[in-house]
Structure 1
Amino acid sequence: MSEDTLRSVEIERTSLGNYVVRNVRGGSVSMGAGEDGSFTPVELLLAAIGGCTAIDVDHITSRRAEPTRFSVEVTGDKIRDETGGNRMTNLTVTFTVAFPEGADGDRAREALPRSLQQSHDRLCTVSRTVELGTPVSIVEATGSTGSTGG
């Protein structure tokens, strides 16, 4: 992969079941097992799915009018079954968006359904990746099992 396409985060353990996720721009978010206010990995997945489409839709519709309300709810069921193991089903992204009265608001309202469809069909990297079922490789770094003691 070229540097133009590569995306990455680093996850560092802070204590049992608690981690900090960092991006290359210096941002961070806490992640954990759901025993405190930290986001769980599933919640971060849901946020990524909704956030990706939200960014697409916001950029498209806000060119026409600034929304008076813009919220996104992402839901799904975490299940375990014999064939698929632990996974999410029934993923739904619900947008509640309102624009001001007037010609600009009308243009934004007209653009909303199309922008939602464009994001779903081709723009949102996250939901496209989930829907297409991209394989995930798990690898152990060379020397990661060695002793650190003297």
Structure 2
Amino acid sequence: MANVRVERTDEGGFRATNARGAEVLIGSGDQEGVFTPVELLLAAVGGCNIVTVEPLTAKRGHRLVRLAMTVQAEKVEQNRLGPVTVTYEVEVPSEEAEEVFRAVAGRVHDKYCTVGTSLQEGTEVRLKLP
């Protein structure tokens, strides 16, 4: 089970902490040094894709020279995002590596990225109050 604790900090912002002690600061778009909740969602989509694509491509014998991505979405309503677009920036060592990368990236997007699949399928979010 994935578990993250989110709490208000003494400075008035918010901090998300995982069981391994990693922290991410959360706040509004006008604060320096923090992610907004929407940015964290986009980072989760990108992170899920990239941490899956890279080792699967390498496992097939192709180490990518450079691998990065940009993840974007626009709000289409006050509380709703439009489509999320993942754009890879990749430098490959050969045509064969590019073919492998494209195949792997497509499969990861369609089937193996838990975050992206959950968004596409509309995972239920439940509320539990004390």
Same fold (TM over 0.5): yes
Query: Partner amino acid for 2:27?
Result: G
**1:29-85, Cα deviation, whole Å (9 max, x unpaired):** 1111122220000000000011101111101112323222111000110131xxxx5
Residue 33 of structure 2 corresponds to residue 44 of structure 1: no
Query: Partner amino acid for 1:86?
Result: N
Task: Give the helix-richer structure, 1 or 2.
Answer: 2
CA–CA separation in structure 1 for the residues paired with 2:121 and 2:129: 26
Aligned length: 128
Q: Secondary structure at the match of 1:129?
A: helix
Query: Partner amino acid for 1:114?
Result: A
Q: Residue 105 of structure 2 aligns with which residue?
A: 116
What does 1:1-150 correspond to in 2, within 5 Å? 6-15=1-10, 18-34=13-29, 35-63=31-59, 64-80=61-77, 86-100=79-93, 105-141=94-130
Q: Secondary structure at the match of 2:111?
A: helix
CA–CA separation in structure 2 for the residues paired with 1:69 and 1:117: 18
Greater gyration radius = 1
**TM-score between the two structures when normalised by the length of structure 1:** 0.79
Query: Partner amino acid for 2:98?
Result: R
Unaligned runs of at least 5 residues, structure 1: 1-5, 142-150
CA–CA separation in structure 1 for the residues paired with 2:88 and 2:109: 13
Q: Residue 144 of structure 1 aligns with which residue?
A: none
Task: Give the strand-richer structure, 1 or 2.
Answer: 1
Alpha-carbon distance, 1:16 to partner = 7.0
Q: Secondary structure at the match of 1:39?
A: coil
CA–CA separation in structure 1 for the residues paired with 2:12 and 2:105: 36
